[in-house]
């Protein structure tokens, strides 16, 4: 049985061709790059990832954070359904979506409502830190892979740069 390559797949592989009368050259941008950029622009506007608050405020703001994380999850699901997402980008978006699910499971306000206030506050702040860390790592990988600039507001969610290896660890 003969496999057929669709025209779109062929065009993505070819950058140009030559004939005896001249040549044509073009560079087709990766559609995944556009999708990846759209995700970064969207995440930059999510205050749950960019606003730094203390532990008491994290508990106070938990309902808004939960709503924001639910919206992020829904948007990532929509992006995953786009035909130009690509397998590699889809893998990173699925990891982001899993981090959102984990956060929502950890910060189930109905489940933790009977816990002492201080315990709830620490739990919410810790879950928020884990979420930002997980999404920050995936954001950094996506930006590096697709050669995208990270919007200023979202840059705070990226992992901290490595320190000089010559310096001893603090712990």
Q: Does any domain span residue 64?
A: yes
| Residue 49, CA distances (Å) to 126, 130, 165, 169 in order | 13, 11, 29, 28
Q: What is the pLDDT of residue 70?
A: 96
pLDDT of residue 156: 80
Asked, for residue 42, whether it belongs to a domain, the answer is yes
- What backbone phi and psi angles, to 5 degrees, belong to 128? -65, -40
Given a contact cutoff of 8 angstroms between Cβ atoms, the answer to whether 151 and 44 are in contact is yes
Q: What is the pLDDT of residue 63?
A: 86
> 147: phi > 0 → left, psi -120 to 50 → alpha, else beta; which?
left
- Predicted TM-score (pTM) of the model is 0.74
Which pLDDT score is estimated for 118?
81
Token readout for 64 is 């808004």
Q: Let me know if residue 166 belongs to a domain.
A: no
Torsion-angle region of 22 (φ positive above 0: left; ψ -120 to 50: alpha; else: beta) = left
Does residue 125 belong to any structural domain of this protein? yes
Range of the domain at 131: 31-154
| 163 lies in some domain | no
Q: Is residue 41 part of a domain?
A: yes
Report yes or no on 10 lying in a domain: no
State the total domains in the chain: 1
pLDDT tens per residue across all 171 residues of the chain: 444 334 344 344 444 445 555 555 444 346 889 999 999 999 998 888 877 766 666 667 788 889 999 999 999 999 999 888 888 999 999 999 999 999 999 988 778 778 887 888 888 889 998 999 999 999 999 999 988 988 887 888 888 776 665 565 554
Q: Establish if 2 belongs to a structural domain.
A: no
pLDDT at 76: 97
Q: How many CB atoms lie within 10 A of CB 85?
A: 19
pLDDT for the residue 23: 53
> Within 10 Å of residue 55's Cβ, how many Cβ atoms?
15
């Amino acid at each position: 049985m003969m496999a057929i390559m669709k025209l779109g797949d062929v065009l993505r592989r070819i950058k140009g061709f030559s004939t005896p009368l001249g040549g044509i050259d073009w560079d087709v941008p990766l559609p995944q790059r556009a999708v990846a950029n759209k995700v970064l622009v969207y995440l930059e506007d999510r205050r749950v990832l960019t606003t730094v608050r203390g532990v008491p405020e994290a508990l106070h703001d938990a309902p808004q954070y939960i709503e924001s994380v639910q919206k992020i999850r829904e948007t990532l699901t929509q992006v995953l359904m786009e035909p130009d997402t690509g397998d590699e980008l889809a893998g990173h978006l699925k990891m982001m979506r899993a981090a959102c699910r984990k956060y929502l499971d950890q910060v189930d306000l109905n489940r933790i409502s009977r816990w002492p206030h201080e315990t709830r506050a620490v739990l919410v702040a810790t879950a928020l830190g884990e979420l930002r860390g997980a999404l920050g790592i995936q954001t950094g990988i996506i930006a590096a892979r697709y050669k995208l600039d990270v919007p200023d507001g979202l840059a705070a969610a990226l992992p901290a740069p490595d320190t000089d290896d010559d310096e001893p660890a603090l712990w």
